[in-house]
């Protein structure tokens, strides 16, 4: 079990967490999920993610002491700790991430299509003039139709309609 006590060093109070080997492995998996959210869609390193990356590196640096040295190693090429192939094969939370992304895809698609249709029907000005509860009621009515469609057909019947005039926006 890894352990330490809280201490005050200068102005910064240090908080130490006591976790066992199994919890450390779970922490690695939580960090993988966080890293995915922060970096999956970016091409370059984002400076605002540095505090998260720094904390991840601190946790990775403890892998050997936690009994999980086979899951994390220091890459001289990248000058940082990285998950190993053994981690990817035995611990990866990608199935959880993929399940989340799949559910989010359908929710977002249905929500955006429903709102688009309601705004197209009422006009943007009239839509925004409605109280928020009425807006949600109208969107929910359309959302139900899209939910039924997506559950039955997925994206098979989705397509782009070619039109000379843009969608009706009042």
Tell me the C-alpha distance between 102 and 98, whole Å.
Answer: 6
pTM for the predicted model, two decimal places: 0.72
159 confidence band (pLDDT: 50, 70, 90): confident
Convert the pLDDT of each residue in 47-68 to its tens digit: 999 999 999 999 999 999 999 9
**115/140 Cα distance (integer angstroms):** 9
Mean pLDDT (whole number) for 85-98: 91
- For CA atoms 24, 26, 29, 33, the dihedral sign is negative
Distance CA 90, CA 18 (A): 24
> Which of 33-42, 73-82, 126-135 bottoms out in mean pLDDT, i.e. has the lowest?
33-42
């Amino acid at each position: 079990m890894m352990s330490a006590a809280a201490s005050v060093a200068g102005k910064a109070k240090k908080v130490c967490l006591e976790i066992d080997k199994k919890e450390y492995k779970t922490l690695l998996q939580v960090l993988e999920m966080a890293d995915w959210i922060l970096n999956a869609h970016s091409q370059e390193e984002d400076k605002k993610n540095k505090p998260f990356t720094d904390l991840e590196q601190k946790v990775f640096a403890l892998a050997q002491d936690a009994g999980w040295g086979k899951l994390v190693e220091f890459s001289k090429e990248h000058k940082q700790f990285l998950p190993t192939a053994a981690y990817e094969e035995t611990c990866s939370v990608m199935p959880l991430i993929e399940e989340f992304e799949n559910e989010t895809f359908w929710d977002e698609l249905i929500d955006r299509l429903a709102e688009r249709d309601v705004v197209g029907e009422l006009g943007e000005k009239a839509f925004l003039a409605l109280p928020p509860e009425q807006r949600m009621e109208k969107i929910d009515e359309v959302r139900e139709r899209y939910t039924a469609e997506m559950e039955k057909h997925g994206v098979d019947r989705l397509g782009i309609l070619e039109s000379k005039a843009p969608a009706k926006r009042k």
